[in-house]
């Protein structure tokens, strides 16, 4: 297990993208169910104030630093992480490996049609990527039973769950024992990006750690959520002092 850095009570693995992918490969080889969380500043701040969310994240087998805010926090706390490991980057590298190794992937979540369109785009980008099924994320209890039955039948190696945080983390934690899928990972809005519905920030903005600003500009309704950032930074400064 990788060393974990405590940020506001949430354990973040000190790993880079390459190590994260190796870990995923090990999880698949091992075959037992594992939960992967990509924790951004907003998620960590929310979890610091929500015990259930914090416990679910802390019991996950892998928790990556999703975003420059988390890397910044690691520096403040004296254990600098080498780089961020974002959800979308991890999704891309898993899809790439699926094309090479035949890993079976299933995408659950996002609005109707989004995951299916994303699957078409992913297969185009990584020919041979083995997406065995998709289902949107607005299901009722009856549909949920059908989804579970389908997953038990298809036995994917990796389940991407796009229900937003912490709903996706709770869903995975509740179902992983039953499903026995080697890797279940919450991916938030990644499928919205991969389907082409939402554009990712231009590379220069990503490099300047301004991805949050870009998302705010194209989706002003995120304003409230972005407010979590300064609160996160203040709380980290406070933790660093203690």
Contacts with ligand UDP by CB under 6 A lie at 109-111, 137-138, 162-165, 167, 188-189, 191-192
Q: Is the dihedral of CA 80, 201, 185, 236 positive or negative?
A: positive
Cβ closest to ligand UDP, residue 98 vs residue 110: 110
Taking each helix axis from N to C terminus, what angle separates 68-76 and 41-48, rounded to the nearest 10 degrees? Answer: 60
Q: Rounded to the nearest whole angstrom, what is the least distance from the CB of residue 31 to ligand UDP in the complex?
A: 28
Cβ closest to ligand UDP, residue 14 vs residue 226: 226
Closest CA to 85 of 18, 35, 23: 18
Cβ closest to ligand UDP, residue 7 vs residue 191: 191
Q: Rounded to the nearest whole angstrom, what is the least distance from the CB of residue 188 to ligand UDP in the complex?
A: 2
Closest CA to 171 of 139, 194, 133, 130: 139
Residue 152 φ then ψ, to 5°: -65, -35
Q: Rounded to the nearest whole angstrom, what is the least distance from the CB of residue 195 to ligand UDP in the complex?
A: 9
Cis, peptide link before residue 166, omega less than 30° from 0: yes
Cβ closest to ligand UDP, residue 166 vs residue 182: 166
Q: Rounded to the nearest whole angstrom, what is the least distance from the CB of residue 147 to ligand UDP in the complex?
A: 12
């Amino acid at each position: 297990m990788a060393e974990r850095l405590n940020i506001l009570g949430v354990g973040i693995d000190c790993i880079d993208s390459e190590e994260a992918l190796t870990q995923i490969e090990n999880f698949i080889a091992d075959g037992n169910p594992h939960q992967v969380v990509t924790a951004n500043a907003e998620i960590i701040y929310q979890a610091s104030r929500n015990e259930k969310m914090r416990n679910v994240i802390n019991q996950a087998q892998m928790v990556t630093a999703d975003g420059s805010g988390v890397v910044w926090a690691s520096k403040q706390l004296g254990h600098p992480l080498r780089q961020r490991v974002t959800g979308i980057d991890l999704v891309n590298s898993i899809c790439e490996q699926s094309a090479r190794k035949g890993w079976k992937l299933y995408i659950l979540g996002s609005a109707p049609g989004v995951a299916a369109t994303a699957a078409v785009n992913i297969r185009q980008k990584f020919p041979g990527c083995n997406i065995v099924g998709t289902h949107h994320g607005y299901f009722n209890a009856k549909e949920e039973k059908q989804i579970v039955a389908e997953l038990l039948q298809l036995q994917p190696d990796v389940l991407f769950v796009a229900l937003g945080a912490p709903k996706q983390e709770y869903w995975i934690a509740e179902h992983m024992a039953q499903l026995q899928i080697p890797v279940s990972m919450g991916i938030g809005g990644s499928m919205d990006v991969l389907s082409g519905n939402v554009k990712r920030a231009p590379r220069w903005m990503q490099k300047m750690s301004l991805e949050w600003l870009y998302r705010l500009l194209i989706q002003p309704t995120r304003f409230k959520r972005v407010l979590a950032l300064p609160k996160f930074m203040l709380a980290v400064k406070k933790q660093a002092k203690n």
